[in-house]
């Protein structure tokens, strides 16, 4: 049996797709996409489609490339299914940003359904881990938000790099260094610097703020030194 579940999340179609196959009572689910708002419902629907005689469920997380705090609800749904049906459930192949989220939540990346990392190393510390969970989730949410901002900033930064490459005759790496140094010297966010550089090239574009102009001039002068 092979099938896929689709759901539109936040205006984007097919943010999460779950493919499945069942062989001799072993079900392998392969999520692909993002574990964001609504992902737990997608998983619940897929689990409900499994045959009643399934004796083992394994999730291969290789295809998951992004996860926010909703991913913890995804894991809770999986754990609830295991407890309700008495079926062993495992998740494997956590990598990249989703693995980082598990680490921030202090979950064991090889077995996030059953143990925290601290509890694995120090079973007596599990109560302390529970007390720290609220702070860990706050840090997790901050990191996810920073990643979202970085993703949103990428187009304007790439455009600014292209402008510098064209106007300064520099390489892509050199353009990146100029932007980064300008950000540091002017104490201005990198995205703001990139937006100012991009806007200034328009026919009616305003020049960058004075502090950014001065820092940009310095950064360009440093190139090659």
pLDDT in tens, 54-113: 999 999 999 998 888 788 889 989 989 998 999 999 999 999 888 888 887 778 888 888
Residues β-bridged to residue 204: none
Structural class in CATH, domain 3-121: alpha beta
Q: How confident is residue 1, by pLDDT bands cut at 50, 70 and 90?
A: very low
What angle, 0 to 180 degrees and rounded to 10, lies between the N-to-C axes of helices 126-168 and 172-186?
Answer: 110
Q: Give the residue among 52, 68, 75 at the shortest CA–CA distance from 146.
A: 68
Distance of CA 36 to the CA centre of its chain: 9
CB atoms within 10 A of CB 145: 11
Tokens read off for 108 = 């064991």
Once rounded to an integer, what is the mean pLDDT over residues 19-41? Answer: 92
pTM over 0.85: no
Q: How confident is residue 121, by pLDDT bands cut at 50, 70 and 90?
A: very low
Q: How confident is residue 173, by pLDDT bands cut at 50, 70 and 90?
A: confident
pLDDT of residue 214: 93
Q: What is the CA radius of gyration of the chain?
A: 23
pLDDT of residue 186: 92
pLDDT of residue 13: 38
pLDDT over 70 (residue 117): no
pLDDT over 70 (residue 52): yes
Tokens read off for 209 = 């703020």
- In sequence order, what are the residues at sequence separation of 6 or more whose Cβ sits closer than 8 angstroms to the Cβ of residue 111? 90, 91, 120
For residues 165 and 159, give the distance between their C-alpha atoms in angstroms, rounded to a whole number. 10
Q: How far is CA 74 from CA 5, 34, 49, 173, in A?
A: 14, 11, 17, 39
Residue 152, SS3? helix
pLDDT over 70 (residue 14): no
CB 33 within 8 A of CB 64: yes
Q: Give the residue among 95, 46, 34, 110 at the shortest CA–CA distance from 70.
A: 34
Mean pLDDT of the chain: 80
pLDDT of residue 71: 85
Once rounded to an integer, what is the mean pLDDT over residues 110-123? Answer: 59
User: Which residue intervals of the chain bear CATH 3.30.750.24?
Assistant: 3-121
Please tell me which residue, 176 or 126, carries the higher pLDDT value.
176
Longest dimension (CA), the chain: 70
For residues 37 and 17, give the distance between their C-alpha atoms in angstroms, rounded to a whole number. 13
pLDDT of residue 22: 93
pLDDT of residue 202: 66
């Amino acid at each position: 049996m092979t099938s896929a579940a689709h759901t539109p999340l936040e205006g984007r179609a097919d943010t999460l797709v779950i493919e499945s196959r069942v062989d001799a009572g072993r079900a392998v689910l392969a999520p692909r996409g993002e574990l964001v708002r609504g992902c737990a419902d997608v998983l619940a629907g897929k689990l409900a489609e499994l045959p009643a005689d399934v004796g083992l469920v394994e999730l291969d997380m290789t295809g998951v490339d992004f996860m926010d705090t909703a991913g913890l609800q995804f894991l809770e749904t999986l754990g609830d299914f295991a407890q309700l049906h008495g079926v062993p459930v495992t998740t494997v192949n956590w990598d990249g940003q989703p693995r980082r989220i598990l680490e921030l939540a202090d979950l064991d990346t090889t077995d996030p359904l059953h143990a925290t990392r601290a509890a694995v190393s120090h079973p007596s510390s599990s109560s302390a881990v529970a007390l720290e969970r609220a702070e860990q989730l706050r840090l997790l949410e901050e990191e996810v938000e920073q990643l979202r901002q970085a993703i949103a900033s990428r187009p304007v930064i790439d455009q600014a790099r292209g402008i510098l490459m064209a106007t300064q005759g520099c390489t892509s790496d050199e353009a990146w260094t100029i932007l980064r140094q300008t950000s540091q010297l002017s104490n201005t966010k990198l995205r703001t610097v990139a937006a100012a550089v991009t806007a200034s090239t328009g026919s009616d574009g305003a020049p960058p703020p004075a502090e950014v102009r001065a820092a940009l001039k310095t950064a360009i002068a440093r190139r090659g030194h």
